[in-house]
Structure formats: C-alpha cells, structure tokens
Structure 1
Amino acid sequence: MSETRTDVTALDRSSVRSYLREMGPSWVAGAIAAGPATMGSLITAGGSYDYALFWVVVLSAIAGALAQYLAMRLGLLTERGIVGVIEDHLGDTWAWLLVLDVVLAAGSAQLLIMKTVAAVSATLTGIDARVWGVVWALVLAAGLATQGYRFLEAVAKVLVTGVVITFVASLFVVPFDMGAAVSGLVPSLPRGSALVAAGILGGAVHITLITMHSYTMGTRGWLREEYSLATFDVIASMLVAFGIYSVSIFLVVASVLASGDLSTVEAANALGPLVGESAKWLFLLGLAGAAVSTLGGNTIVLPFLVADKLGWGTTVEDDRYRWLLVATALLSAPGAFIGGPVLSQLALVLAIGTVGTPFAIAAVLYLLNSEVVPESNSTFSNLGGLTLLLVSGGLAANFVWEQVAGGLDLLSGAILVFAAALGIATAGLFAKFVREEAVLA
C-alpha cells in the first residue's frame, strides 16, 4: 500500500481566506454536537461540580475534532458514503447493522431535540410548545425538500456562529473565577460525576456525527483534492467553534448556578434574578439557535444512510430521498407532545447513542487501515482512533452496567441486547483485521 501522505500544512493567507468561504460540511456536524443534549450535560456538570470537570469540556472538543478528522479521511479517500463502502468491503449484514445503529440513535434523538426546540420557542413567545412542534416540523420539511443540503449547511454556519458569539457575550455579563477555572483543567472525577463526564464526551464523539460526514462532503462535491480544505473545516468547526461553545456555557453555569437539576430552559430563566435579564435572554437566544441548528442537522443523518443502503441518490434530485427527508422532518413533530423532564430524557438518548458509537469508530478504523483507501493511516491517527474507541467503549459499558444494575425491565433489557450485539460486532471487526494482517504478514 502506498505510504504517500496528503499535505495538510501548506496554508498561506489566501488559502485561509478561501477556506473560510468554502468550509461547511463539518459545521453541520458541529451544529448537531452543539445541541440541547450537550448543553444539558454542560449545565449539569457546571451546576453540580463547579469547575471540576472543565478538563472534560476541553477534552471533548479535541476528541470531537479527531473523530471528525478520521471520518473525513474515510469519506474523502474513498469518495463515497460510509454505508456503501462497508457494504462493498465487509458485506450486507455489516451495512444493515450500521444503518440500524444510526436509526435508533438519530431517530430517538430527533424527537427530544424537537421537544427542546418547541419548549424554547414557547418560552420566547408564550405560544404553546405543541403548536411550535408542528410549525417547526413543517418549516424543516419545506426547507429541506426544496433547498436540500445547501440550505441546511448555510443555516448551520449562521446559527452555530451566532450561538458561539451569543454565549461568548454571556461571559461579559456573568462573572467567573479565572483561578478556579484554571484549576479545573487538572483531571479529576468528583464522586458521582462519571456519567456527566460521559455525557459531555458523548455529545462530541457520537455515531451520528461520524457516519454523516462522508455524505455531507460528497453532497458538496469534495474529492481528495479538497483534503486540506476538509481538514481546515474540521478544525474550525469542531475544535474552535464547538470548543468555544462548550467552554462558554460551562463557565457561565459553573459561575452562578448552584443546582445540577436545572433543565436547559430553566437554567436560562434562573440567570435573570442572579445576574440580570441580559444574561437570561442571551442564554435563551443561544439555546434557541443551538436547538434549531441541531434539529436540522440531525434530520438529514437517517435519510443519508437509509438512502445509501437502498441504492437511492442522497440529494433532493432523487425524489425518493426528498420524500424520505420530508417524512423524517414531519415525524419529529410528536416530540413536542412528549411529557416529562427533558434533561434526563436527553441524557438517556445521548447515552444510547454512545452505546452505538464504538462500532462506528471501529468500522472507520478498520476501513482506514485496509486496501479500501489509497493512503495508509498514520500512526498518530491510529493511536488517536484507538483512544477514542477505548474511551467511548468505556463510557458505553459504564452506562449499560448502570442500566442493568438498576434491574432489568423492557428498556434496560433492550439496551443490553443492543449493546451486546454491537459489542460482538466490534470484536468481530477487530478479529477480522487481525486475521487479515496475519495473512499479509
């Protein structure tokens, strides 16, 4: 296999300006990462443990950027969607397993993201959240059906940029302890904080973000020649924008909110009497932008993979894909009618997605170290990928253990079966890779 390396360092000032204009696909992933579930984990972390988990917040941005970089390499070097690559080189069963994994993770998340969007809209306007659920579903369906991916990418870049600016502005009206924040960069896990840390990391390294990236780049028409641009796109979106988003929210909450039981909307409302109405409204506007951008980004994940598996096109030029987009958007409306505390529900959905993430990372690593790609993966990329696999696998195992330890019921039993199937599949990929390497040796 060729040892040629793609040059990602040859950047001059004109290149940077050009990249800033052309970047986009990773911003859709960033829009999903910077959503209500991640925000809920950040609020719980800052409200319950002060600055102690600041190091996890910083680590999540680095881990998220690395995961997207690996997904980007697979998409650009194969110039195909991940499901088609897996189907051709691993087989139909493996491809269906990945699709099912994403359907469960993205489908359940879609309903609760809509619940959050509707709740924020209701808080801002006074109009019933259920009405907003229907309205947002129709807007989403119309926008995606007529404009497709480019509509979503444009909205994601504007909203994520606006959200980052909004939360950074919050730091100027909310006092925070710089010394305590710096001390929080020293790794430690206070008693009872492991699941919260898992939620923060799980929001940045998630199966939906990893699997969708090859499709968004393909829709933009990016090929191997855009490798440097795609790398810049990942760094700007996941490392910089998502990193600033996470750090800003965490510092605001850790500075003034003393309860980890707040929902995302309740956290915004609590800021008013504590540090002024300006902080409350900045936080609410940031939450609204994050929720809307996440809803749009998450909507396209499932249609991308399902359409690819069925042999359909993955742009709105294919009417079958267009109607799949519309159906996904409209089916999110019932999320606004779900009762119960949204924060714990979002945490559960995020954890379920975390169970499916190790298999996706393992599949990407397997393919990047096979004959599928024309360039071998670097040692650094492999070590980073293996670290991600171990961390995400540990978080998933911890979540499943807690579910089982609490007693088996229908939900915990289903999670256990789901985790066992994907665990066996991940181990199977590893064994397959070892056998193939032994044959080559």
Structure 2
Amino acid sequence: MSNRRTNVSAVTGGAVRRALGETGPSWVAGAIAAGPATMAGLIAAGASFDYALLWVVVLSAAAGALAQYLAMRLGLLTERGIASVVEDHLGETWAWVLVADVVIAAGVAQLVIMNTVASVSATLTGLDARLWGLVWALVLAVGIAGRGYRFVELLAKVLVTAVVLAFVASLSVVPVDYGAAASGLVPSLPAGGALLAAGILGGAVHITLITMHSYTMRARGWTARDYGVATVDVGVSMLVAFSVYSVAIFLVAASVLADPELTTVGAAEALGPLVGANARLLFLLGLGGAAVSTLGGNTVVPPFLVADKLGWGTSVDDARYRALLAAFALGSGLGAFIGGEVIGQLVLVLALGTVGTPFAVALVLYLLNSDAVSEPTPPLANAGGIALLVVSGTLAANFVREQVGGGVDALSGAVLAFALALGVATLALFVTYAREEASPA
C-alpha cells in the first residue's frame, strides 16, 4: 500500500459528470445484484404478499449501496485484494474460510442462474435449454477469459441499463395501486415471509458483491485518489439503477400476479393474457438481459479470490488466472442440465448468500477498524456497517428458524449447515476483535 495520506472523507476529484463517465466496478456488482435470483425473490414476494414487503425492497437498495461503499473504502485504502488483506491481518485459516464462503455461494448461484438463462433462451427461440447452456458457457469462456475484465464491465453497463429500461417500460403498462403500495413502506413481516425477505436483501447485500469490489477496482487501477469517482460509481449503480430495477419488478408482480408458485419465465408468460403481449416480451427481454449480465459478473468472482489466495495475478495476463476463469465459465454450462422450476432454487440461492453475508460484513468492518488501513473509518460509516450487520444477521437467523420449523430436507439442510458454520466464524471474529481491543497497546 502507498504511504501517502489522502483525504477520503468526501466525494472529491472533479465534477460529477466526469465521474459518471469513469464509473464501472460497481456496475459489475450491480449486474450481479440485478439478476434472475433477485427477480425471483421480488416476483415471489409481490405475488405472495401483494405490497407488504415493499419496505424490504427499498431497504435492500440502500443496504446494497452501503455494503458496496464499505467494500470500496477497504479496497481503495489497502489497494489489494480482500483475500490477501485477510491473510495478512488475520491469518491463512481466515482467508481460506472467506474463499470457501465465496466459492460455495457464487458457485451454486452460477449453476442456477445458468439454468435460468438457458430456460429464457429456450422460451424465446424454441431450441433446447441444454443446448443453450453449452452455447452460453462457451460465450462466457471466450468473452471473459479472452478479453478480460473490461469486457465484463462494458457488458454490465450496457445490459443493466437496458434491463432497467425494459422493466420501467413494462411497469408503464401495468395498473399499479400506488396508495396500497405506499402502505407497503411500513415495515412488517407477514407469516412465511422471512425466506423472501432474506432473499430480497441477499440479492443486494451478497458476499460476492462485497468481496469482488477490491478486485474490480484494482482492474481499473483505482487508488485512494479515485475516492470521489468510486463513490459516485456506487451511488449510480446501486442507489439508482438497482433501486429502480427492484421496485419496478416488485410493483409489476404485486399488481397483477397472484401465484407464488410462478417461475420467473412463468411470470413473464402470465403477463401476456393479463396486461398484453408487449409486457410479456419486455419482461422476458429484461429477464434474459439480467440473467446474462449476472452470469458475466458472477463468473469472475471465485477466480479473483482463489487466484489472490494462491498468490497468482488477478488479470488475464496471468495464464493461471485465465485458465481458472475459463474453467469456471465452462463448468457453469452444467447448470442448464439441472432442470425443474427455478424460482425456488433462485430464492434459496439468495438466502444462501444472505447467511454468508454477515461474515463478509464483519470481516470488512474488522479490517476497516484495524491497522490494515491508514485512514480512520468515519463514525457514521461504522454505525451504518453495524446496522447492516444486525439487519443481515437477523434476516439470516429468521430464515434459519423458518427452515427448521418447516422441516429440513437435503438442500435446505446444506444451507443450514453453511449458515451455522459461518455463524461460528462470525462469532469467533467478534471474540478476536474484542481481545485485541482489550489488550494493551
């Protein structure tokens, strides 16, 4: 890390217009957040509980922006990948726990999202979904492993913008009861809503989004001097684009859909007879764009952390990283062979991310308040981070309690075991921090 001290307490470094032109890394995180898994949670929430969970949707965008801001701050002030920072300040075991957390959460998500991409492609073209899975896997491998991070960033910017416009357009042809929607801004958690609330929040505050940010900023060459543009980057992608995306999808589902068993593709099909073919097409195109952009962004995350932990480069200039990236991209094609209705799989994937997120948030807060960074963390940022930890931890605990109460099968049991393991790790991190604070300087 550079020894220079830079004022990073405010958005500096030029006009907002210039900053907008330089944004990028947080758009990749936004592309992952604005994916079919988030869409599944939003559709299921709206179709099941009308407007009651709108407050969770709004909260998720604010929480997502806050999580990205904290991750941004850590990445800029250390100018290193999070895995190597964790290893230096907590030890190798903690670094491997973080890498395993990310690989499991992102790997499972990759397979299920590929299943969604293949299903949408099959619906639009009539070709077999499994064939589409193989095609998209090859496109990912050639595009990302061949052209590197800047290809992912360009894809994210174009597709996220197009997806937001598609869903805003579909909202314009759906009758929304805005008075009833306003009542959904009052926090309440209907019976059976814990999984969906955890899923919605998990789409915005996800361990993959938090951990990838230091690597995407490094790929752009950003340092502490770029604090201003990095802050604008987070605000535009998460507070604006992701917020509009989430609210639009939720309002469409809450207004005209009443079947919580619908798949994401099924929701688009249901819109046809309800509000017209245009809404159906727009919804399908938005779903397809969101799924592809999420696949592209998610593909780079596990290779980033694994390569960093192994001491490899984290760009395609390093042949080992390039091979790892290509292997992960090609392996994702297996997701198209899963089959079955994807909405339950997608919501569970989001919940899996939610139970892994408190550990990631706790790690970032620990490092921001350690000697890993040269600048003190503002009290307001710390307070927000603690609030984020409490909210994500509470929703994760509610999800676990709901799963146990409803009976545990093989899939939910695996998620439960994952949650318990990371819960123990998070508590151990708290103990470590408390001991360090209590020990003499």
Equivalent-residue separation in structure 2 for 1:193 and 1:387 (angstroms): 21
Per-residue deviation, residues 211-246 of structure 1 (Å, max 9, x unmatched)? 001000001100000001101000000110000000
Equivalent-residue separation in structure 2 for 1:51 and 1:168 (angstroms): 18
- The Cα of 1:420 is off from its aligned counterpart by 2.6
Q: Give the aligned partner of residue 262 of structure 1.
A: 262
Equivalent-residue separation in structure 2 for 1:256 and 1:404 (angstroms): 32
- The Cα of 1:406 is off from its aligned counterpart by 4.3
Aligned amino acid, residue 296 of structure 2: G
Aligned amino acid, residue 8 of structure 1: A
Equivalent-residue separation in structure 2 for 1:105 and 1:7 (angstroms): 32
Equivalent position SS for 1:48: helix
Equivalent position SS for 1:331: helix
Equivalent-residue separation in structure 1 for 2:369 and 2:282 (angstroms): 46
Preserved CA contact (<8 Å) 1:67 1:210: yes
Q: 1:253 to 1:411 in 2, by over 3 A?
A: closer
Equivalent position SS for 1:314: coil
Number of aligned positions between the proteins: 438
Q: How does 1:156-195 map to 2 (within 5 A)?
A: 156-195=156-195
Equivalent position SS for 1:400: helix
Q: 1:41 to 1:411 in 2, by over 3 A?
A: closer
- The Cα of 1:440 is off from its aligned counterpart by 4.5
Q: Give the aligned partner of residue 17 of structure 1.
A: 17
Q: Give the aligned partner of residue 251 of structure 1.
A: 251
Equivalent-residue separation in structure 2 for 1:413 and 1:316 (angstroms): 37
Q: How does 1:21-420 map to 2 (within 5 A)?
A: 21-407=21-407, 410-420=410-420
- The Cα of 1:179 is off from its aligned counterpart by 1.2
- Answer with 70-79 or 339-348: which moved more: 339-348
Equivalent-residue separation in structure 2 for 1:169 and 1:422 (angstroms): 41
- The Cα of 1:402 is off from its aligned counterpart by 3.2
Matching of residue 8 in structure 1 with residue 10 in structure 2: yes
Equivalent-residue separation in structure 2 for 1:83 and 1:371 (angstroms): 16
- Answer with 149-158 or 431-440: which moved more: 431-440
Q: TM-score, with normalisation over the residues of structure 1?
A: 0.96
Per-residue deviation, residues 230-276 of structure 1 (Å, max 9, x unmatched)? 01000000110000000111111111111121111111111111111
Preserved CA contact (<8 Å) 2:13 2:226: no
Preserved CA contact (<8 Å) 1:103 1:302: yes
- Answer with 333-342 or 23-32: which moved more: 333-342
- Answer with 119-128 or 386-395: which moved more: 386-395
Per-residue deviation, residues 26-55 of structure 1 (Å, max 9, x unmatched)? 000000000111100100111111111111
- The Cα of 1:414 is off from its aligned counterpart by 3.7
Q: Give the aligned partner of residue 430 of structure 2.
A: 430
Preserved CA contact (<8 Å) 1:270 1:280: yes
Equivalent-residue separation in structure 2 for 1:111 and 1:241 (angstroms): 25
Q: TM-score, with normalisation over the residues of structure 2?
A: 0.96
Preserved CA contact (<8 Å) 1:7 1:228: no
Preserved CA contact (<8 Å) 1:3 1:376: no
- The Cα of 1:389 is off from its aligned counterpart by 1.1
Preserved CA contact (<8 Å) 1:74 1:214: yes
Preserved CA contact (<8 Å) 2:13 2:227: no
Aligned amino acid, residue 192 of structure 1: G
Which segments of 5 or more consecutive residues in structure 2 lack a partner in the other structure?
none
Preserved CA contact (<8 Å) 1:101 1:356: yes
Q: 1:134 to 1:213 in 2, by over 3 A?
A: same
Aligned amino acid, residue 198 of structure 1: A
- The Cα of 1:415 is off from its aligned counterpart by 3.4
Tell me the C-alpha RMSD between the 2 structures: 1.6
Equivalent-residue separation in structure 2 for 1:303 and 1:106 (angstroms): 10
Per-residue deviation, residues 289-331 of structure 1 (Å, max 9, x unmatched)? 1000001111000000000011100000000000111000000
Per-residue deviation, residues 402-434 of structure 1 (Å, max 9, x unmatched)? 333444555455434332322221111111111
- Answer with 29-38 or 412-421: which moved more: 412-421
- Answer with 238-247 or 189-198: which moved more: 189-198
